[in-house]
Structure 1
Amino acid sequence: MMRIIIIIFAAFSNLFSQETDLKIHNGRKEMIQTEYKFAEEVRNSSVRDGFLKFIADDGILFRPGPVNGKVFLENSKVQPGLLLWYPAESFISSSCDLGVNTGPWEFKRTADEEASAFGQFLTVWEKQSDGTWKFLIDAGIGHSKPKIVIKGIENSVVIDKSESFDDFDDILEIENNFHSTSANENYKSIVNDETTFLRNDRLPIINEMKDEFLTQLTGTEKWEILGGKSSKANDIAYTYGKGVHSESIKEEVFFYVHVWKKEKDKWMLLFDLQN
């Protein structure tokens, strides 16, 4: 009898594992496909109309500070020009309800003209109750024309499921206490090999460029969280807010988006965007 129970349990466990793998597989593709559809809609209609179709009711845009994007767009007029982009890197929660895409963008006045502006976008997506994906926040930076063309992708990287019970409050504590010492030292405790810094007038800061970037970072930064959310699996989260960089008697105000990824028992920065 016990042997039969074990066999039945193993069968159900295997079935559950297969269903979970299928859910993750579908989730990886759905979010990426939505990004491509979003870009196609904007290309075929307009920035205003395309964004309105894919933004969540509480979605955030920066103009220059954070505003309710849907309200802003509804009160805006259609502007000429082509905004083009595609995802080059993507991460999705193991619960497949929250994820982030990033990649290059460019702007053209007309389809026949050369692009006149370039940059990198960062978009956080959430799966809705009806199964569709809507973006919660969309931000970006501008930089010079890249010398290398980055390839688009078809699948997201699935975040490893975390066994840690740390929750969103831990991120709030990290951000609220960030100003206690130098920005350089504080960043070192929450940055790893995967972290990408996004700053205006600079290509994405990755790999060995991060060490140089942090070495040159002086003064302190204070972050004020204005909003954010964690995935159901509590393995990926985002925050956005207002920051102040202080150095001697000089202060500079900026707005930020942070995407956090759970690494074992600690939250680490996946993306850090300031503009």
Structure 2
Amino acid sequence: MRASPLLVFIVGIAAGALGYATVDRLQAPPPADLEMVKATDIAFSGVSETAGVKEAFTRYAMENVVFLPSGGHPITGRDALAASFNDFPAGAKLTWVPAGGGISHANDLAYTWGHFINTFAEGDPHYGKYLTIWRRQADGSWRVEADTGNASPAPAAP
């Protein structure tokens, strides 16, 4: 029994479509998008350094942000997160540098991770590591969807 030409054609189209979809999903996201997320993370840190951590999270966090503080209860919502920084010590500065990250194949979610330093007007600085989850907005910008961090030892001397 021979297959009809129409059946061969339909099977060929279906196989090609499945192959295209599989190849498309396996392609790595464009590196420029991850670099944009890292640049946004660096700008976020810059606002924290110059205008304060409360202002930085107010500008960069989504309205429904989730913050998971080390040793504390989750904080949900931009307003609640901003209020949590009301007791941040005067003169303290929180800055960070991304060390790595990744981005979804759909280019709508990303994460950055890195190291932070919290310096105070008096006393020793505190060091730590962080993980931030980013969501792309309709205008193409990136906002913080979730954030967490915890303490680390001081960096080794060079």
What's the TM-score once normalised by structure 2's chain length? 0.72
The equivalent of 1:39 in structure 2 is 45
Structure 1: which 5+ runs fail to align? 1-12, 150-275
Given that 2:127 and 2:154 are in contact with CA atoms closer than 8 Å, whether structure 1 keeps it comes out as yes
Q: CA deviation at 1:69?
A: 3.8
- The 5-angstrom pairing of residues 157-168 of structure 1 reads none
Local SS of the residue matching 1:75: helix
Q: CA deviation at 1:134?
A: 0.3
Given that 2:110 and 2:134 are in contact with CA atoms closer than 8 Å, whether structure 1 keeps it comes out as yes
The equivalent of 2:83 in structure 1 is 75
- Equivalents in 2 of 1:74, 1:86: separation in Å? 21
- Equivalents in 2 of 1:148, 1:91: separation in Å? 29
Q: Deviations over 1:160-191 (max 9, x none)?
A: xxxxxxxxxxxxxxxxxxxxxxxxxxxxxxxx
92 and 114 in structure 1: CA distance in 2 versus 1, 3 angstrom threshold: farther
146 and 94 in structure 1: CA distance in 2 versus 1, 3 angstrom threshold: same
Q: CA deviation at 1:25?
A: 3.4
Given that 1:36 and 1:86 are in contact with CA atoms closer than 8 Å, whether structure 2 keeps it comes out as yes
Local SS of the residue matching 1:88: strand
Matched, 1:25 2:70: no
What's the TM-score once normalised by structure 1's chain length? 0.43
Identity among equivalent positions (%) equals 22
Given that 2:119 and 2:126 are in contact with CA atoms closer than 8 Å, whether structure 1 keeps it comes out as yes
The alignment yields a C-alpha RMSD, in angstroms, of: 2.5
Q: CA deviation at 1:114?
A: 7.4
Runs (4 or more) in structure 1 with deviation over 4 Å come to none
Pick from 74, 95, 98: which aligns with 1:66?
74
The equivalent of 1:123 in structure 2 is 132
Structure 2: which 5+ runs fail to align? 1-19
1:100 partner amino acid: Y
Given that 1:48 and 1:78 are in contact with CA atoms closer than 8 Å, whether structure 2 keeps it comes out as no
Q: CA deviation at 1:73?
A: 3.2
